[in-house]
C-alpha cells in the first residue's frame, strides 16, 4: 500500500464499521441471532485474511492469553448484543451516539483500574460526552423507547471500553487478527445456545444482511485497518476511526429517514469532538493498540 491507498483503506474500514447499526436494523432478527451470525461470518472472513495475508506466524498462546481472550470474547458479545438492542429500540443514530460515549468511560476506568491521575483535558472530554448525551436524549422517561435505547447504547459503550482495556493488556503479545478471530469464536459459542432455536426462522434476506455485517463490517473492516497500519501512523488511524459515527448516522439518515433534531445534532457533534480529542490524546499509542481497539468493534 502507498500512503494514499492506505488512507483510503482506513476510511473504507471506518465506513464499514459505521454501517454496523444499519445492517443490524435491516436484519429482522433478534440481537442474539444477529450477533451469533456476525461472529460466525467474521471468523470465516478473518481466517481467510490470515491465510492469504503476508503475516508472520501466530503467537503460541499461554494460559493467561486464553483467559484474556475468553474474557474479551464475553465482553465483545455483551457489547454487540446491547448495541443491537439499542438499534432495534431507538434507531441507528441514538444507538451509535450512545455507544460513542466510550472515551469517557475509558478515562474513568483507566483512573480507577490503573490508578492514573485524570488530567484537566480528560475531565473536559468526560464533560463533553456527558453534555452530548443529555442533548441526544429526547426525554428522560424510561417508558420512552429512545431513552431505553440510549441506556442500552451507553451500556454498549461501557462494555466496549472494558473490552478495549482488556485488549490493550494483551496487544503486545497477540497479533490483532489472531486475537479478533479467537474473540469471535468465543462470541459465537456464547450466543449459540440462545440463537440456535431461532436460526431456522431467519429469512434468506436477513442472512444476507447478517453475512454482510460479519464479513464486511467485521472481517474486511478490521483487515483493512491492520493492512493500512503498515503504512499509516497509529495517530492518523485513531482519528480516522473516530469518523465511524459520522458515516453510520449519515447512511441511516439517508436510508431510514431518521431525521435528527437540532438538539441531537449538537449533542452528536459534542460526542464526536470528544472522540477525536480522545484519539489525539492517545496519539502516542502504538499500532498494535490501535488495531486491538479496531478489532473490538
* 82 or 141, higher pLDDT: 82
Contact between 243 and 14 under an 8 Å Cβ cutoff? The reply is yes
Per DSSP, the three-state class of 143 is coil
Is 80 exceeded by the pLDDT of residue 99?
A: yes
Q: How confident is the model at residue 288 (pLDDT cuts 50, 70, 90)?
A: low
Q: In the structure grid, which three cell numbers stand for residue 60, read together?
A: 503460541
- Cβ neighbours, 10 Å, residue 189: 15
> What's the pLDDT tens digit per position in 219-243?
888 777 777 777 777 667 767 777 7
- The arithmetic mean of pLDDT across residues 31-51, rounded, is 90
CA distance 91 to 183: 27
> What's the pLDDT tens digit per position in 109-161?
777 776 667 677 767 777 777 777 777 776 666 666 778 888 899 899 889 88
Q: For residues 164, 158, 20 and 80, what is the CA-based torsion angle, rounded to 10 degrees?
A: 90
- What is the predicted pLDDT for the residue at 178? 81
Q: In the structure grid, which three cell numbers stand for residue 273, read together?
A: 469532538
Q: How confident is the model at residue 294 (pLDDT cuts 50, 70, 90)?
A: low
CB neighbour burial string for 68-82, b if at least 16 within 10 angstroms, e if fewer: bbbbbbbbbbbbbbb
Query: What is the percentage of the chain residues whose pLDDT exceeds 90?
Result: 26
Is 60 exceeded by the pLDDT of residue 295?
A: no
- What is the predicted pLDDT for the residue at 172? 58
Which residues lie closer than 8 Å to 137 by C-beta, 6 or more apart?
Answer: 146, 147, 150
Contact between 116 and 110 under an 8 Å Cβ cutoff? The reply is yes
| CA angle, 149 then 74 then 50, to 5° | 110
- The arithmetic mean of pLDDT across residues 43-61, rounded, is 74
Q: In the structure grid, which three cell numbers stand for residue 216, read together?
A: 464486511
Amino acid at each position: 500500500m502507498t500512503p494514499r491507498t492506505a488512507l483510503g483503506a482506513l476510511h473504507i474500514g471506518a465506513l464499514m464499521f459505521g454501517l454496523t447499526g444499519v445492517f443490524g436494523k435491516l436484519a429482522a432478527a433478534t440481537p442474539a441471532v444477529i450477533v451469533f451470525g456476525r461472529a460466525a461470518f467474521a471468523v470465516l472472513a478473518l481466517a481467510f485474511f490470515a491465510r492469504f495475508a503476508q503475516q508472520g506466524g501466530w503467537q503460541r498462546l499461554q494460559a493467561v492469553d486464553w483467559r484474556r481472550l475468553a474474557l474479551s470474547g464475553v465482553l465483545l458479545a455483551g457489547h454487540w448484543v446491547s448495541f443491537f438492542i439499542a438499534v432495534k429500540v431507538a434507531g441507528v443514530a441514538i444507538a451509535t451516539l450512545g455507544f460513542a460515549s466510550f472515551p469517557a468511560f475509558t478515562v474513568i476506568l483507566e483512573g480507577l483500574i490503573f490508578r492514573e491521575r485524570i488530567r484537566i483535558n480528560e475531565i473536559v472530554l468526560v464533560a463533553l460526552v456527558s453534555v452530548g448525551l443529555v442533548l441526544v436524549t429526547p426525554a428522560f422517561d424510561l417508558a420512552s423507547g429512545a431513552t431505553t435505547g440510549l441506556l442500552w447504547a451507553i451500556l454498549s459503550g461501557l462494555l466496549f471500553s472494558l473490552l478495549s482495556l482488556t485488549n490493550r493488556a494483551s496487544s503486545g503479545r497477540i497479533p490483532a487478527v489472531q486475537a479478533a478471530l479467537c474473540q469471535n469464536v468465543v462470541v459465537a459459542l456464547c450466543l449459540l445456545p440462545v440463537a440456535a432455536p431461532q436460526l431456522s426462522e431467519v429469512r434468506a434476506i436477513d442472512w444476507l444482511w447478517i453475512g454482510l455485517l460479519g464479513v464486511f463490517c467485521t472481517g474486511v473492516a478490521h483487515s483493512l485497518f491492520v493492512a493500512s497500519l503498515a503504512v499509516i501512523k497509529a495517530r492518523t488511524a485513531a482519528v480516522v476511526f473516530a469518523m465511524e459515527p459520522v458515516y453510520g448516522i449519515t447512511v441511516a439518515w439517508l436510508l431510514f429517514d431518521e431525521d435528527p433534531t437540532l438538539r441531537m445534532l449538537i449533542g452528536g457533534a459534542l460526542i464526536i469532538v470528544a472522540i477525536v480529542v480522545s484519539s489525539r490524546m492517545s496519539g502516542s499509542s502504538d499500532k498494535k493498540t490501535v488495531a486491538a481497539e479496531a478489532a473490538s468493534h
